[in-house]
């Protein structure tokens, strides 16, 4: 099932994901829906916060991208990462990044060129792989999401200033769609 992607301004995007201690049928279904949602949106990664669930769960698939990437050992994609951790960042890459939760915004972001990912898969097995290029970028972007960090937080100051108006508008639009919380906000503003 294709899920709705939460947009910038939604508070769940700022929540740190809860660790997943048990792979339940619901978690499996969620991962399957996240993969479907990611492909439908032509994304290369999606974090649980982006479908409204603050959990340590993300899916990535860069296999169709023309940008260079590497993975050792090579695992089939999409990769489903439960409770992922990033280790041994090395080198540096600067490249254009976007986010399905922040439409029409792109900026150059500095990331490690190479990083090791350690996580569990949906069978509870530990998986570890080293990745480079776009896959390393995607892993860092998604693990940031799982910690409530967005790529706009990593832009340089000048870029952030130039995008401030656009982000403010998007945040306002998102809050307006949140229904009850936004009505509460309006009520409080009158006091
Ligand atoms: Zn994102």
- Residues 32-51 have pLDDT tens digits of 999 999 999 999 999 999 99
Give the model confidence (pLDDT) of 7-28 as tens digits.
999 999 999 999 999 999 999 9
pLDDT band at 83 (very low <50, low <70, confident <90, very high): very high
Distances (CA, A) of 129 to 71, 119, 124, 125: 7, 9, 16, 13
Distance CA 191, CA 189 (A): 6
Distance CA 85, CA 116 (A): 8
Count of residues for the chain? 191
Q: What is the mean pLDDT of residues 76-99?
A: 97
> What element of type H or E holds 131?
strand 126-132
What do you get for the CA distance between the two ends of the chain, in Å? 42
- In this structure, are residues 48 and 17 in contact, taking their beta carbons and an 8 Å threshold? yes
Q: What is the pLDDT of residue 190?
A: 57
Catalytic residue, candidates 92, 113, 142, 173? 142
From the number of C-beta atoms within 10 Å of its C-beta (0-12, 13-18, 19+), residue 159 rates as: middle
C-alpha of residue 163 to centroid of ligand 1, in Å? 16
C-alpha of residue 9 to centroid of ligand 1, in Å? 13
Q: What is the pLDDT of residue 178?
A: 86
C-alpha of residue 45 to centroid of ligand 1, in Å? 7
Is the peptide bond between 76 and the residue preceding it cis, with omega within 30 degrees of 0?
no
26 catalytic? Reply is: no
C-alpha of residue 145 to centroid of ligand 1, in Å? 7
- Regarding pTM above 0.85, the answer is yes
Give the model confidence (pLDDT) of 148-188 as tens digits.
999 999 999 999 999 999 999 999 999 998 875 545 555 55
């Amino acid at each position: 099932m294709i899920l709705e992607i939460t947009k910038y301004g939604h508070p769940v995007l700022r929540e740190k994901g809860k660790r997943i201690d048990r792979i339940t049928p619901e978690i499996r279904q969620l991962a399957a829906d996240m993969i479907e949602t990611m492909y439908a949106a032509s994304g290369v990664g999606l974090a649980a916060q982006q479908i409204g669930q603050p959990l340590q769960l993300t899916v990535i698939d860069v296999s169709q991208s023309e940008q260079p990437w590497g993975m050792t050992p090579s695992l089939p994609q999409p990769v489903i990462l439960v409770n992922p951790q990033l280790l041994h960042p090395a080198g540096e890459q600067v490249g254009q990044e976007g986010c399905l939760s922040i439409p029409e915004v792109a900026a150059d972001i500095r990331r490690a060129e190479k990083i090791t990912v350690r996580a569990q898969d949906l069978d509870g097995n530990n998986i570890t792989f080293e990745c480079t290029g776009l896959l390393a970028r995607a892993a860092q972007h998604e693990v940031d999401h799982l910690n409530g960090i967005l790529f706009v937080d990593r832009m340089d100051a000048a870029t952030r200033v130039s995008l401030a108006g656009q982000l403010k508008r998007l945040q306002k639009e998102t809050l307006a769609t949140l229904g009850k919380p936004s009505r509460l906000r309006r009520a409080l503003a009158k006091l």
